[in-house]
Chain A
Amino acid sequence: MSVHVVTPGLLTTVQDLGRAGHRHLGVGSAGAADPWSHALANLLAGNQAHAATLEISLSGPTLRFDRPARIALCGARIQAQLDNRDVPCDRPVQLPAGSVLRLGACRNGARAYLAVRGGFAVPAVMGSASTDLRGAFGGMRGRALAAGDVLPLASGNTSDGVDALRIAPWWVDPAPDDNPFPDIRLLPGDSATRDADALFARPWRVHPASNRQGLRLQGDRLHAADARERTSEPVFPGTVQLPPDGQPIVLLADAQTHGGYPRIGHAISADWPKLAQLRPGDALTFVPCTRRDALQAAARQRQRLARLALAIAARR
């Protein structure tokens, strides 16, 4: 049971929830930049949250399914068509054998996730199916999809075959939070800016050079309170760095393991889905956040996902 890549899209990679326990070797986490949408797509497709999906950036692939398949699309509103019929997001969709699914532009967001029942069965490398683009391993041979690639699906994916496209008559509200909060919440970093409020006082714009490693932000130059060169220290996804050019970088899933720039904040994990959906040119604003609120926001998202899992399971 396989998915054949007819055209690969702009940057389509196999991701799960990432690689843990190897940052001391210089190996980052990788994994879905928007873990919420990845998990939700999996639940709708009938998988566990951690199964491997395809993360689709900005513009998607055309895929041929040789067998019937149950799929789901979450995250950015991605254009999706099967034989001129629109395939919607946020619900299970059954594809007949031989389906050619054309995924187009992402709308209202940068990244969409395609989950297929059973999950993509690429070999696990260092404990994960995620693609490590920096190290060129994991996922589909350590790189983005290319035309001609064949993605194996887990065997035993004998979903009831359909002979025509079947779209579930229900869908889920894909928002990660009950009360969506528009700004990016930051915990304090170890380094202050010369003007303590400058990071929060203005909107920042996402630079086109942003990628899975980090969002490069454009705006009025920030100055570190202490501009001395630092020894490299560990960093993690979510860390906000201030390089000498005064333009902050928010590290994402492919964050490197160490950095020497001042750390002026840390984006809370509940806001990583928002960060992952920002497109070049989008604006974002930071607000300070307390530890308590950060942990509560993460816990509420976990609870929300658990409720959705039950609701989805009840529909099958």
Chain B
Amino acid sequence: MNSGGDRVPPAAFAVEALGEDALLLRFDGPADAATNQRVHALARALQARRPPWLRELVPAYASLALQVQATATTDDRDPLEIARDWLRAQALPIATQAAPDAQPAIDIPVCYGGTHGPDLQAVAEHAGIDAGDVVRRHAGTAYRVAMLGFAPGFPYLLGLDPKLAMPRMGTPRVRVPAGSVGIGGAQTGIYPREGPGGWRLIGRTPLVLFDAARTVPSLLQPGQRVRFVAINDAEFERQVAVARRRRVA
């Protein structure tokens, strides 16, 4: 919420065509948390006014794509002209990070280290601290979902303590368990599904990040605030059992 009288500068972005039927809005400034917040604020504002021809609204770190369903409009014009005109007509007081969040913050339980986090010690050594410090720094930070991409429900989180950054593995693991929490470069994220992966695994969450059969398939939404909460093995197993019972067959 803007406090009385505060004027925050509107988000500035360049608009370009992305193929035949999509616009890409490229936000000015570095691809940092503040820019990412503006991306999500704009996405929320556009979502609230979403016309039937807007097929996709896809945020990324510092950009936002709008895809037009040409056949969903009786308008004969170039779909991108329709989209540009619509954007201009919104006359949006484009919010910045002062806007309220669309959804509450979410706590993600993580069992750090041991079998669930085989690279925790390596990350600690790389950072020159002990494993406990890694956990404290990882779990003690407030993150934002910069975007969901590459795979269904796969979150890219902004806010990792720079001390914990570590390059990806030279050769990815063939099998990373679903729910694994990893560090790749300066990013941290969670693998929603079992599969190959090159990030450094420091823990695992019992939560199911993505289930296409759920009413709300993705646990996380773009722009959402996230915190990690350390849990022990017993609690991990208990929550896995709960998630399994809840899962739609």
B242 at the A/B interface (Cβ < 8 Å)? no
Bound complex: CA A223 to CA B228 (Å): 42
Shortest CB distance A232–B (Å):
6
Shortest CB distance A30–B (Å):
11
**B24 & A138 in contact (Cβ 8 Å cutoff):** no
Bound complex: CA A45 to CA B190 (Å): 44
**B148 & A26 in contact (Cβ 8 Å cutoff):** yes
CB < 8 Å neighbour of A258 from B43, B56, B57, B149: B149
**A134 & B152 in contact (Cβ 8 Å cutoff):** yes
Closest to B80 in A: A291
**A187 & B57 in contact (Cβ 8 Å cutoff):** no
Most central of B59, B150, B213 by chain A CB within 10 Å: B150
List of B residues within 8 angstroms of A231 by Cβ: 31, 60-63
List of B residues within 8 angstroms of A258 by Cβ: 58, 60, 147, 149-150
CB < 8 Å neighbour of A26 from B20, B21, B151: B151
CB < 8 Å neighbour of A295 from B55, B60, B78, B154: B78
**B61 & A232 in contact (Cβ 8 Å cutoff):** yes
Given A266-B19, A298-B20, A233–B63 Cβ distance below 8 Å?
Answer: yes
**B58 & A138 in contact (Cβ 8 Å cutoff):** no
B217 at the A/B interface (Cβ < 8 Å)? yes
**A232 & B18 in contact (Cβ 8 Å cutoff):** no
Bound complex: CA A256 to CA B152 (Å): 9
**B60 & A268 in contact (Cβ 8 Å cutoff):** no
CB < 8 Å neighbour of B193 from A135, A187, A266: A135
A137 at the A/B interface (Cβ < 8 Å)? yes
**A266 & B16 in contact (Cβ 8 Å cutoff):** no
List of A residues within 8 angstroms of B218 by Cβ: 25-26
List of A residues within 8 angstroms of B154 by Cβ: 26
Bound complex: CA A266 to CA B148 (Å): 23
Q: Which of A6-14, A16-24, A36-44 makes up part of the contact surface?
A: A16-24
Closest to A29 in B: B56
A211 at the A/B interface (Cβ < 8 Å)? no
Q: Which of B65-73, B96-104, B113-121, B164-172 makes up part of the contact surface?
A: B65-73
Bound complex: CA A233 to CA B35 (Å): 14
A269 at the A/B interface (Cβ < 8 Å)? yes
Instruction: Report the interface size class on chain B.
Output: 35 or more
Shortest CB distance B66–A (Å):
9
Bound complex: CA A20 to CA B67 (Å): 10
Instruction: Give the residues from 93 to 130 in chain B that come closer than 8 angstroms, CB to CB, to chain A.
Output: none
Bound complex: CA A134 to CA B192 (Å): 11
A308 at the A/B interface (Cβ < 8 Å)? no
Shortest CB distance A42–B (Å):
16
Shortest CB distance A296–B (Å):
11
A120 at the A/B interface (Cβ < 8 Å)? no
B153 at the A/B interface (Cβ < 8 Å)? yes
Most central of A232, A233, A298 by chain B CB within 10 Å: A233
List of B residues within 8 angstroms of A294 by Cβ: 20
A27 at the A/B interface (Cβ < 8 Å)? yes
Closest to B59 in A: A24
Shortest CB distance A242–B (Å):
15
B174 at the A/B interface (Cβ < 8 Å)? no
State the A residues within 8 Å of B (CB): 20-27, 125-126, 132, 134-138, 142, 187, 190, 231-234, 236, 238-239, 256-258, 263, 266, 268-269, 291-292, 294-295, 298, 302
Q: A232-B61, A239-B19, A258-B150 are in contact. List 9 more A-B contacts (CB 8 A).
A: A20-B69, A25-B153, A25-B210, A25-B218, A126-B212, A231-B63, A232-B147, A233-B60, A236-B22
Give me the 6 closest cross-chain CB pairs, A-B, nearest first. Answer: A258-B149, A266-B19, A234-B65, A137-B212, A135-B152, A234-B58
